[in-house]
Amino acid sequence: MGSRAAEYAEDEMPFLRRKREATPTDDHEVTTDEVTTEDDADAVDAADAGLDEDASDDSGTARIEDEAEAEDVDEDDADELSARDAEDGSIVELDDDLDDEDQDVDADDLDEDDEAPRKQRKGGLRGWLRAREKKTDYGPDYAVRVATLPDLEHFPEDGHVHPEIVRSWLALQQFGEAMLLVSWFKDRPAGYVMVSWTGDWEDAIRKRFKNVPSITNLWVDEEHAEAGVERKLLEAALTVIEKQGRDKALISVDRDDRPARKLYRELGFTDTKARTTDSYVYRDAEGKKRRGEHKNLVLIKDFTEVDEEDDDLDDDEAADEPQTDADEESETDADAESETDEPADDAVDRKS
């Protein structure tokens, strides 16, 4: 009877059989609290599923909130970075953080060429950072100042001197062996001159005048030759040499360049009687290579002496000046007189 009742109970209530099979040991007794109906089991499963969905929703909401907080933190950090950069005087500013007044000031500082839309650079907290442009002040027209590395971009490659040569001069300046002075017209060089602290480029002149700086590589653009650029460059070079505590300065000038010799004499240079020769190769109108040379006079200026005009330079100029017609006539008259005197001498000789 008991076994038949148990079989009936298992047939009518299969969940009891499943419960019994899930029991870890045979000694475990099933109580009424552990027994649930099939409807109750379905409700429990649905409740568990609902808890899982709620948990996933909660985790998603929490993740969204965390991302929002992270964005707020990034914005706060960006604001702090902008404020810190402004306090430190940094040249980098965020576009979004600029005030209207700053934008107006920047707009006034820009030239007409800078009105084109700027390319935004990628990177940074906001996706881009804009570097404030630092403009070089070249001063008034024909102002002379010491050249710097950023000035290289203003020397055109097809100009009088290639930018790479200027770079080599700036390297000498960096090592304290020379100084490059440039006269600027707008943002273009109107002329330049170099001061060589180690002396003249010629070895013989450098050995003869030891520790005497030399003014070399003087050049003036033909378009600005009438603006007194050459004198301004020479005066600037002499001022730099004198302020460095040097008492003398050398310069070489082409023997045939009379305007330059006159200018140097006005600036207090005198002749040293030393001569140099510059040889060079050029192409004529037909494209053939030719050799040429310049005969140079080596001049010196002594800052300890009172400036006086050099008579030697005048003598050199007089010696180089071509003879005039009057001079030729006087010479012919002298020759004629000497010829008329010769027969008298012959007569005296015959009498004797």
Is the pLDDT at 348 greater than 50? The verdict is: no
Same domain, yes or no: 167 and 214: yes
Phi–psi pair at 77, nearest 5 degrees: -60, -40
Please provide the distance, in angstroms rounded to a whole number, between the alpha carbons at the two ends of the chain: 198
DSSP state of 203: H
Instruction: Report the CATH number at residue 282.
Output: 3.40.630.30
Same domain, yes or no: 113 and 179: no
User: For residue 290, which of 299, 298, 278, 281 has the smallest C-alpha distance?
Assistant: 281
Strand order in the sheet with 128-131: 92-93, 128-131, 121-122
Q: Check residues 301 and 113 and name the one with the higher pLDDT.
A: 301
Same domain, yes or no: 43 and 112: no
Is there a contact between 280 and 293 (Cβ–Cβ < 8 Å)? yes
* Helix (H) / strand (E) containing 299: strand 289-302
Is there a contact between 34 and 19 (Cβ–Cβ < 8 Å)? yes
| 241 vs 249: CA distance, rounded Å | 7
Radius of gyration of the CA atoms of the chain, in A: 49
Q: What burial class does residue 56 get, using C-beta atoms within 10 Å of its C-beta: 0-12 exposed, 13-18 middle, 19+ buried?
A: exposed
What is the average per-residue pLDDT within 60-77? 56
Same domain, yes or no: 84 and 96: no
Q: How confident is the model at residue 295 (pLDDT cuts 50, 70, 90)?
A: very high
In tens, the pLDDT along 202-247 reads 999 999 999 999 999 999 999 998 889 999 999 999 999 999 999 9
Same domain, yes or no: 95 and 196: no
pLDDT above 90: percentage of residues in the chain: 36
Least confident of 46-60, 293-307, 326-340: 326-340
- Average pLDDT score, the chain: 70
Is there a contact between 271 and 314 (Cβ–Cβ < 8 Å)? no
Same domain, yes or no: 153 and 215: yes
At residue 123, the 3 state secondary structure works out as: coil
Same domain, yes or no: 163 and 249: yes
Q: 56, 88, 120: which is the final residue of a domain?
A: 88
* Helix (H) / strand (E) containing 133: none
DSSP string, 223-272: GGGGGTHHHHHHHHHHHHHHHTT--EEEEEEETT-HHHHHHHHHTT-EEE
Is there a contact between 233 and 192 (Cβ–Cβ < 8 Å)? yes
Same domain, yes or no: 228 and 297: yes
Same domain, yes or no: 180 and 253: yes
DSSP state of 136: -
Please name the residues in contact with 297: beta carbons below 8 A apart, sequence gap of 6 or more.
Answer: 252, 253, 254, 255, 261, 271, 274, 275, 313, 316
Q: How many domains does the chain have?
A: 5
Please name the residues in contact with 132: beta carbons below 8 A apart, sequence gap of 6 or more.
Answer: 91, 92, 93, 106
What is the average per-residue pLDDT within 316-340? 48
Cβ–Cβ contacts within 10 Å for residue 276, how many? 15
In tens, the pLDDT along 252-268 reads 999 999 999 999 999 99
Is there a contact between 221 and 160 (Cβ–Cβ < 8 Å)? yes
Selection from 58-62, 83-87, 102-106, 326-330 with the highest mean pLDDT: 58-62
Same domain, yes or no: 254 and 314: yes
Same domain, yes or no: 264 and 129: no
Same domain, yes or no: 40 and 170: no
Q: Which domain holds residue 331?
A: 326-352
CA-to-CA separations, 175 to 133, 166, 167, 216, in angstroms, rounded:
29, 14, 13, 17
Is there a contact between 190 and 228 (Cβ–Cβ < 8 Å)? no
In tens, the pLDDT along 78-127 reads 555 444 444 444 444 434 444 444 445 454 555 555 544 444 444 444 44
At residue 122, the 3 state secondary structure works out as: strand
pTM of the model: 0.51
